[in-house]
Amino acid sequence: MALSWYLCLAMALFFGPGTGTIHGLAPENEVTLHPTTWLSENRVTPVHLPKGRTRRLYFTLKKKADLLSVTVSPCAVPIEWSLAVRTLKDKPPKKAHWSSKKSMPEVWWRGSGREVRIYTYTGNAVDTYTGPAYTAASIYILRLKSNQQDTQVSAYLHEGPGPSGAFPELPSDPRVHTLGVGMTSVTLNWAPSSSVVVKDGHRPHHEYCVLVNHKHNYRSLCAAREGIRKEIQSVKKRQRRDKQSKEIVWASLKDWWWRQPDALENRESSTTDKFEDPGCVCRDIESVCTVSDLLPDKQYYFDVFVVDRVNGTSVAYTGTFARTHEEARPAVTSLRESQVKWVTLSGDASSLQGDQFRFKPRGWQQNGLLTLQTCNNTSKVKVTVSSKARTLTSQEVGHQLAQIWLHGAPSYLIQLQALAPASSSTIPKGDSSKSKFCLKMQASSAYHRRAVPVFPATLQIKSFNKLRTCNSVTLAWIGTEERSLYCVYRRQIPLGSKHTSTDRCIDPESRPANERVLCKYFQELNPRRAVTTAVIGELEPGMLYVFDVYLMRRWGLPIKYHSKTVRTRSEC
């Protein structure tokens, strides 16, 4: 039964009426392999371009149209686009039997005619072709192609003279100019666009938007959004790779400067030029903008876009770039070998850099000992030692003498920054002397040691009441297991005076020679028995004396013990 049916069908095809071929059935059953896309007039048409494939859009003009303009807005990558026209010598039949199943471009291709390419462009900028219309019996073909990657473009058709009004207009000078550059800010200006106008006091639907980034300038707002989308995707990949590196991830996002940072998280991944929320700094109708919160000594790229909020289109000015000024670096003072340096620091919070010194140890071992001592009871100083831009140590120095061992570098940068005391709020604003901190510092090359010298167990001085006489007192203090020189100084206090202690920053060399009583060497390998004594004679009866003991060292500042006040006996 089935075989007889196929046989009848074959005979009907060979012996049918007319020309009697299979072409008689073709017009009624053929469909187009590529669906036709028409480009509508006065409407922004988004087009997706697969990599390496040519997309075609067709349109015809009205009979009365004498001019036409086609605008193509690429996104992230350069594209190739061309405009061609195909003109028929004879008009196609309006009521052909096969035309009901054919698309309009196929009607032109079946007829006689020729195709002429009238415009081509390659690039990533918004470009417009404007020219005269051809004969009414013409079809226009807009070909679009991306050779680098999949991308998105927008196309717009306008018939007749005058501007289309869909895209904002750029001025005759479309460049962004730099008015001023600072350490953390850049001021820009540009020629106003004729599209940004205020009518009847109403807010215009055009505005300027400014984008700043570290990488390069953008030719369109769509390209900027695509760049931001890729940047956020790379940040999320790094977040998944290392969840513990949040600070590093968000630091990379500072390559972009935005007025509305919250908009980044909720941004859609659409790469079309349809305007939803620019995310960047939008200035309304102002053509001057100061970009703040920039980093010093960094190069930034600045782009300005004119955005039409109603039509969802935008055009870009020719961007510019500028490098912010570097921070004012404080002078670096050279610190000589074993030089005692007196430093006065300001406790003002605005003094962020502090004072800087450079020390180069002698000898091939490149070792040194840094000794610091503050001269204010309530002051603290932050000491940061670095070498070749790498921080070696950072610590706070209070009222105790501090020693920092330097090793492993040919040169050291020492930075001192005063830390305001807790009672600084009680200091009157006009009293600047109380906000000054005094610091004594010395750096010495240490050839014979691989560790910092040890301190005595205590810096207290003890006097023995039973050994006190009318003209002598007996003192005792704890030394160290190292052989060192100890010098004793005395000072008589006038009657009625309350000053009974000696400034701990006063060097022994700064005191009068007649105040020095004796100097002696002492060493005890057992720290528990490292106690030495001295009998100070030639004193006056019933007088008050202040005694000071200094541990004299070859390396570093001398260590001063706490002052001891003793009154001699009046009657013996």
The answer to whether 435 and 351 are in contact (CB under 8 A) is: no
Cα separation, 193 vs 205, in Å, equals 13
CATH topology of domain 332-422+432-444: Jelly Rolls (2.60.120)
Q: Which two tokens stand for residue 500?
A: 């009974």
DSSP string, 183-204: SS-EEEEEPPPTT----TTPPP
Alpha-carbon distance values, 435 to 85, 376, 378, 382, 429 (Å): 82, 10, 11, 15, 9
Beta strands of 124-174 (E only): which ranges?
A: 127-132, 138-145, 151-159
Cα separation, 388 vs 409, in Å, equals 9
pLDDT mean across residues, the chain: 77
- Please tell me which residue, 166 or 494, carries the higher pLDDT value: 494
Return the pLDDT at 120: 95
Return the pLDDT at 91: 58
Residue 171 pLDDT greater than 80, yes or no: yes
Q: List pLDDT tens digits, range 338-387.
A: 888 888 877 654 444 568 899 998 877 788 889 888 887 667 888 999 99
End-to-end CA, the chain = 153
Residue 234 φ then ψ, to 5°: -65, -35
Residue 427 pLDDT greater than 50, yes or no: no
Cα separation, 166 vs 314, in Å, equals 9
Is pTM beyond 0.75? Reply is no
Q: List pLDDT tens digits, range 476-487.
A: 999 988 888 999
Return the pLDDT at 23: 36
Helix (H, G, I), strand (E, B) or coil at 150: coil
Return the pLDDT at 364: 77
Count CA atoms within 13 Å of residue 76 on its CB side. Answer: 18
Superfamily of domain 462-567: Immunoglobulins (2.60.40.10)
Residue 151 pLDDT greater than 50, yes or no: yes
Alpha-carbon distance values, 5 to 9, 14, 16, 24, 29 (Å): 6, 15, 16, 20, 21
User: Among 78-82, 91-95, 162-166, whose mean pLDDT is lowest?
Assistant: 91-95
Domain boundaries, the chain: 45-159, 176-323, 332-422+432-444, 462-567
The answer to whether 313 and 168 are in contact (CB under 8 A) is: yes
To 5 degrees, how large is the angle CA 59–CA 61–CA 63? 155
Question: Sorting pLDDT into bands at 50, 70 and 90, what band is 520?
Answer: very high
Q: Residue by residue, what is the 3-state secondary structure of 9-62? A: HHHHHHCCCCCCCHHHCHHHHCCCCCCCCECCECCCEEEEECECCEEEEEECCC
Q: List pLDDT tens digits, range 262-276.
A: 333 333 333 333 333
* Residues 6+ away with beta carbon under 8 Å from 210: 188, 280, 281, 282, 283, 289, 291, 302, 303, 304, 305
To 5 degrees, how large is the angle CA 104–CA 105–CA 111? 95
Cα separation, 435 vs 428, in Å, equals 10
* Residues 6+ away with beta carbon under 8 Å from 113: 86, 87, 88, 89
Burial class for 463, CB neighbours closer than 10 Å (0-12, 13-18, 19+): middle
Return the pLDDT at 485: 93
Cα separation, 93 vs 104, in Å, equals 12
The answer to whether 325 and 296 are in contact (CB under 8 A) is: yes
Cα separation, 371 vs 340, in Å, equals 9
Q: Which two tokens stand for residue 304?
A: 């300005």
Q: What percent of the chain has pLDDT over 90?
A: 26
Q: Do domains 45-159 and 332-422+432-444 have the same CATH topology?
A: yes
Return the pLDDT at 314: 86
The answer to whether 70 and 78 are in contact (CB under 8 A) is: no
Q: Best-predicted range by mean pLDDT among 123-127, 156-160, 538-542?
A: 538-542
Residue 506 pLDDT greater than 80, yes or no: yes
Count CA atoms within 13 Å of residue 236 on its CB side. Answer: 8
Return the pLDDT at 276: 35
Level-2 CATH architecture, domain 45-159? Sandwich (2.60)
Return the pLDDT at 403: 87
Question: Which of these, 117, 45, 115, lies nearest to 82 by C-alpha position?
Answer: 117
pLDDT, mean of residues 207-215: 88
The answer to whether 109 and 74 are in contact (CB under 8 A) is: no
To 5 degrees, how large is the angle CA 177–CA 178–CA 184? 150
Q: List pLDDT tens digits, range 410-426.
A: 899 999 888 865 444 44
Q: List pLDDT tens digits, range 4-52.
A: 544 444 444 444 444 333 333 334 444 444 557 888 888 888 899 999 9
Fill in the DSSP letter of residue 122.
E
Return the pLDDT at 178: 94
Question: Which of these, 367, 406, 366, 408, lies nearest to 384 by C-alpha position?
Answer: 406
pLDDT, mean of residues 430-456: 71
Pairing of strands 256-257, 313-316: unpaired
Cα separation, 325 vs 309, in Å, equals 36
Return the pLDDT at 79: 92
* Residues 6+ away with beta carbon under 8 Å from 81: 72, 120, 121, 127, 142, 143, 144, 145, 153
Cα separation, 444 vs 432, in Å, equals 33
Q: List pLDDT tens digits, range 387-415.
A: 988 899 998 888 778 888 888 888 999 99
User: Among 210-224, 281-295, 399-413, whose mean pLDDT is lowest?
Assistant: 281-295
Which CATH code is given to the segment(s) 176-323? 2.60.40.10
As a residue count, the chain comes to: 572
Question: Sorting pLDDT into bands at 50, 70 and 90, what band is 259?
Answer: very low
Residue 258 pLDDT greater than 70, yes or no: no
Dihedral class, residue 235 (left if φ above 0, else alpha if ψ from -120 to 50, else beta): alpha
Return the pLDDT at 328: 74
Residue 169 φ then ψ, to 5°: -100, 140
User: Among 194-208, 320-334, 408-422, 552-566, whose mean pLDDT is lowest?
Assistant: 194-208
Return the pLDDT at 505: 80
Return the pLDDT at 141: 92
Residue 571 pLDDT greater than 80, yes or no: yes
Return the pLDDT at 160: 80
- Please tell me which residue, 555 or 84, carries the higher pLDDT value: 84
